[in-house]
Amino acid sequence: MLINISELISTPLKTETFKVPVDMEVYELNGDQFPFLEKSELVLTVSNMGNRKVHLEGHLECTLGIPCNRCLKEVAVPFHIDMDEEVDLSPDRQDDMADDSYVEESCINTDALINHEILILFPMKTLCRDNCKGICFKCGKDLNKGECGCDRASLDPRMAAIQDIFKNFKEV
Ligand SMILES: [Zn+2]
Ligand SMILES: [Zn+2]
């Protein structure tokens, strides 16, 4: 959603609070999509700080479904987002502030703002539990539910070579 703040910018000391529903169904990162399992509305307070600078203060609670890095089972990962950003809307602002892509002209793109905040908090690694055993790379069974009986060691060609050496050794 776009919040037009052109009136706010032209009114000194004005502060306005917006309650914005989150329309997005998924969060996208590097081509992967993570569904929003839960989301509150975004409460965003925009304050005019003068000189075409605004202060954004916002809060959003959401939960994303992120696959476990080992077994791919979806894990509900909560995000507590507290925004505290200062945005420079002056036309001569440094264009190297690529982070400000959630600002378009005199509008705040709330979806882009939320994406920006989630990216900061996105976990490097997600596990369904600390000792997740992952899935068998041969048959795909979830090894947390028990052994599948596959001989996983033999798929490694280096291991196979060593086993051959031992076999030959025995035959001599
Ligand atoms: Zn797992
Ligand atoms: Zn298996």
pLDDT tens string 56-112:
999 999 999 999 999 999 999 999 999 999 988 877 665 555 555 898 878 999 999
Q: What is the mean pLDDT of the chain?
A: 88
List own/partner pairs for 163-169 with CB under 8 A and 24 or more apart.
none
For ligand 2, the distance from its centroid to the CA atom of residue 126, given in whole angstroms, is 23
For ligand 1, the distance from its centroid to the CA atom of residue 82, given in whole angstroms, is 29
Whole-angstrom Cα distance, residue 25 to residue 12? 36
Residue 169: what pLDDT? 59
Residue 68: CB partners within 8 Å, gap ≥ 6? 74, 75, 126, 127, 128, 132
Domain boundaries, the chain: 2-121, 133-172
Residue 106: what pLDDT? 85
Q: Which residue, 128, 56, 138, 131, is CA-closest to 89?
A: 56
For ligand 2, the distance from its centroid to the CA atom of residue 153, given in whole angstroms, is 11
Q: What is the mean pLDDT of residues 41-51?
A: 95
For ligand 2, the distance from its centroid to the CA atom of residue 136, given in whole angstroms, is 5
Residue 25: CB partners within 8 Å, gap ≥ 6? 35, 36
State what percent of residues in the chain have pLDDT above 90: 72
Lowest mean pLDDT among 52-56, 76-80, 149-153, 157-161: 157-161
pLDDT at 139 over 90: yes
Residues around ligand 2, an ion, CB closer than 5 A: 136, 138-139, 141, 148, 150
For ligand 1, the distance from its centroid to the CA atom of residue 36, given in whole angstroms, is 19
